[in-house]
Structure 1
Amino acid sequence: MKRVFILVLDSFGVGYSCDAKKFNDIGANTFGHISEYCYFGKANDNRFGTLNIPNLMSLGLGKIYYQITGNLPLGILQPVNVISNYGFASEISTAKDTSSGHWEIAGVPVLFHWDYFVNKNNSFPEYILNQIILEFNLPGILGNCQASGVDILKDFGELHIHTKKPIFYTSSDSVFQVACHEKYFGLNNLYDLCIGIRAILNKYNLNITRVIARPFVGENACDFVRTGNRKDFSKPPHQKTILQKLIEEKNGHVIALGKIADIFDNLGITKSIHAVGLTELINNTIQQIKSAVHNTIVFVNFVDFDSIWGHRRDVSGYASGLEFFDQQLPKILHALYDEDLLIITADHGCDPTWPGTDHTREFIPIILYNKFMKNNYFGHRKTFSDIAQTIAKYFLLSSMQYGVSIL
């Protein structure tokens, strides 16, 4: 029985990549800086001491880091034996956003350029805003700027409740984000609004990656929090992904956990499971390992590493998340069947020590684990799409256009 489990530690980069200069990211290092902060006692909020991730280290994470930097991560014990195949990859997509990273993992790199809303204030074109207000009979809008998701609620959340005006904002990524209160605006109303905005952007040929619904709750600026009902309305991949190939060529199954289905606009997905938070995602992953059938890909995105800890520059939170994931890894490994292929990787970096709140252009780790694989370093891969090509070979599918199989 052949099954593949792809676990994306969203934003877990392992050192700045060869083209990081283009992105002003020379020196960024998500893994390295987290381990450094822990070693020097600068990441002790609700945790303490050096970064404790022995299971990830036994899968080759430390050796990956050494191959990239020539150093071992500070304060982390090195295992006697490594039990998996391991290496790292560069991204060839033109951007460092979530969609580009995941699509490239699935064999479809983004070699064109996305459109962006580059103005920090008055970010969205007036003709777009006017059409949205007209079509949805809105009393107006708030925000219209580049902002972090936490700050925007403090600035406009109370006014939103009083006026019912939705909050529009963007970032350095190609996104149009809409924050609305679940109770006072309504969750379904927010989703409908985002679907309409997606259609309007498409109508005007604006190549924006995602329209993101950002629901929140709370009564005032002191207690506003975003809920787990986020939904992304994405552009569809521009070519056939490995997910679609498995379904079409092997009558296979693709089970998406977390925000994976949204990222791929539900193309190449046979079942989507809504799960929020690290614990729930890990539990659902283990359940799928126990129940998934032949010719199945289970694709999981652990978004908290990026959205809660990376973007918010929370080193202690990121370290705690890694340690919790590491503690659960033995359960995941134990549940695997003999022929299963486990892939642990990332989609970009988001160094929580780096200036600003944006993603960072970094190498991603690639860990390939199978119960009968011997430990092997497979080197620096030139594109994330080597993952998709590896999956194609594993399932005996037709080859992808990009990438070289690691197997």
Structure 2
Amino acid sequence: MKRVFLMILDSFGIGSSIDSHKFNDYGSDTFGHIAEKCFLGQANKERDGCLKIPNLIKLGIIQAYKSATGKYPLGFHETCNKSKIIASYGFASEISSGKDTTSGHWEIAGVPVLDEWYYFKKFNDAFPSILIDKIIKHFKLPGILGNCHASGTEIITELGEEHIATGKPILYTSSDSVFQVACHENIFGLSKLYKLCKKIRNLLDENQFKIARVIARPFIGNNKSNFKRTKNRVDLSIQPPSITVMEKLIIEKQGEVIGIGKISDIYAGIGISKSIKSFGLEELCNITINEMKSAKNNTIVFTNFVDFDSVWGHRRDVSGYAKGLEFFDYKLADMINLVKGQDLFIITADHGCDPTWIGTDHTRENVPILIYSPDKKINFLGHRKTFSDIGQTIAKYFSLSEMQYGKCML
């Protein structure tokens, strides 16, 4: 029986990539800086001391980090006995033009984004008037709020009360290729918000704006002191430009791809047999474990653990990120025990989001590749020149036709 369990720790970078200076990210290091803050006792909110991740260590994360950066993370050099590592390990750099979620995930699936996304670069009046006018006219809106670069939590605090009073949706963007819409879940309504976002997606495509995602950001609360985003977020992505390894598995082997979390949204539903929408680290872990238990032959269980990015990375919460890693590591023991025979259990990431870095954006970093399979010899995977080596490896493993990008690591 052949199964792949592909786990994306969203934003878990392990040191600046060789081209990080082009993104003003030279020196960023998500894992290294979190480990450093824990070692120095500066990440003790609801946790304490050095970072405790024994299962990730067993899979080779410390050696992967050392191979990517040339050093051990603080607090770990005495704990990483190579003889106790059970998985193959290495690191990968990204060839896609962006450092966003879509680019990283598509490249992992064997479809790197080599052309530039379109970005809304102006910090104020960010969106072209042609788009705003059409959005207002189509939905007969009283107007819009925001129209700027903003943090998603800060902008609902700033404009949420005015949104409730006027019925005007909050539109904003970031340094990523995204168009985000925040509306009150109950007062504006989820259905209306989703319809608005779908129309914006269509308008962007019709006007040839290559925007990676339109994101619906519902929130609840009655004033700025208690506004809170809900789990009913929806990402409307552009479709991948060519066939992914997941789609190949479904077409060539009649296999199954189970997308957990926001996986289906990221790939616009393409190459996903079953989508399980879920947010929250504990829930995502539990669903993943359940799907691993029942996975059949020729199946990929594909999970994105979004909290590392959206809850802790972007919000620059080092303690929260560290606590999340420790909880994931605790659940990781159950996942490892479910990996049998020829199964491939892969842990990687899609980009960095260093919570100690300047600003609140993603960071251009290398990502770890940890591959555990009881029946396969442990290897040092070295430096992989593209995330697409993961997709090519999965294609080879399932005896699929070759992907256009990447080299097999098996």
**What does 1:117-266 align with in structure 2 at a 5 Å threshold?**
117-266=120-269
Structure-1 separation of matches of 2:175 and 2:226: 26
Q: How does 1:6-405 map to 2 (within 5 A)?
A: 6-76=6-76, 77-79=79-81, 80-405=83-408
Q: How much has 1:373 moved relative to structure 2?
A: 2.6
Query: 1:301-322: CA deviations, max 9, x gaps?
Result: 0000000000000000000000
Deviations 1:137-157 (A, max 9, x none): 111100000000111011100
CA RMSD of superposed structures (Å)? 0.7
Post-superposition Cα deviations, 1:119-148, rounded to whole Å, max 9, x if no partner, equal 101100111100000001111100000000
The answer to whether the Cα contact below 8 Å between 1:12 and 1:31 also exists between their aligned partners in 2 is: yes
Identity among equivalent pairs (%)? 60
Aligned partner letter, 1:289: M
Shift of 1:276: 1.4
Aligned partner of residue 84 in structure 2, secondary structure: coil
Counterpart Cα distance in 2 of 1:69 and 1:199: 43
CA distance in structure 2 between the partners assigned to 1:18 and 1:78 by the alignment: 25
> Partner of 2:303: helix, strand, or coil?
strand
- Deviation per CA, 1:36-65, whole angstroms, max 9, x where unpaired? 000011111111100000110110000011
Give 1:70 shift.
Answer: 2.0
Aligned to 1:118, what secondary structure does the other structure show? coil
Paired amino acid for 2:24: N
In the comparison of the two structures, how many residue pairs are matched? Answer: 407
| Aligned-residue offset at 1:286 | 0.6
Superposition TM-score, scaled by structure 2 size? 0.98
Structure 1 residue ranges, 4+ long, deviating more than 6 angstroms after superposition: none
Structure 2 counterpart SS, 1:337? coil
Q: Secondary structure at the residue paired with 1:46?
A: coil
Amino acid at match of 2:23: F
- The Cα shift of 1:160 comes to 0.5
Q: Secondary structure at the match of 1:67?
A: helix
**Secondary structure of 1:168's aligned partner:** strand
Unaligned segments of structure 1, at least 5 residues: none
CA contact (8 A) 2:342 2:376 kept: no
TM-superposed CA distance for 1:296, in Å, is 0.6
Cα distance between partner residues in 2 of 1:374 and 1:319 = 31
**Aligned partners of 1:13, 1:305: CA distance in 2, in Å?**
11
Q: Is the contact between residue 85 and residue 373 of structure 1 (CA under 8 Å) also seen in structure 2?
A: no
Amino acid at match of 2:61: L
Rounded to whole Å, the distance in 2 between the matches of 1:69 and 1:121 is 38
Question: What do the CA deviations read for 1:376-402 (whole angstroms, capped 9, x no partner)?
Answer: 211000000000000011000000000
The CA distance in 2 between the partners of 1:195 and 1:151, in whole Å, is: 24
Which runs of 5 or more structure 2 residues have no equivalent in the other structure?
Answer: none
Query: How far apart, CA to CA, are the structure 1 residues paired with 2:355 and 2:205?
Result: 33
SS at match of 1:159: helix
Give distance in 1, aligned partners of 2:330 and 2:156.
34
For 2:65 and 2:2, how far apart are their aligned partners in 1? 30
Residue 374 of structure 1 and its aligned partner are, at CA, apart by: 3.0
Which amino acid is the alignment partner of residue 50 of structure 1? C
Tell me how far apart the structure 1 counterparts of residues 377 and 233 of structure 2 sit (CA, whole Å).
40
d(CA) in 2 for partners of 1:276, 1:264: 17
Q: What's the offset of the Cα at 1:258?
A: 0.2
Inter-partner Cα distance in structure 2 for 1:346 and 1:150: 24
SS of 1:327's partner is helix
Contact 2:20 2:364 in 1 (8 A): yes
Please tell me whether the aligned partners of residues 108 and 239 of structure 1 are also in contact (alpha carbons under 8 angstroms). yes
